[in-house]
Amino acid sequence: MKRKFISIFLILLLLAGMLTGCNKSGGATLTKVTLNEVAHSIFYAPQYVAIELGYFEDEGIDLEVVTGFGAI
């Protein structure tokens, strides 16, 4: 009986922990992040799509992409 109680308690604790990460606070300030690219490349296409679709803003990131034109 004691094992069953502990198991149920741990499952509920795990579920409660997972639900705490689902809270979206409205009006939160964005964190400024500057990303330096060496060059524009097709390999960064998923990043460009995420920027255009606003995924970074949804996660609270104000992303600025700059090109450094340096060596890799």
1-10 core/surface letters (b: 16 or more CB in 10 A; e: else):
eeeeeeeeee
Give the tens place of pLDDT for each residue, 7-25: 888 888 888 877 776 656 5
Give the separation between CA 1 and CA 21, rounded to whole angstroms. 31
Residues recorded for the chain: 72
Residue 26: per-residue pLDDT: 57
Spans of all domains in the chain: 25-72
Give the separation between CA 44 and CA 38, rounded to whole angstroms. 11
Give the tens place of pLDDT for each residue, 34-46: 998 888 888 889 9
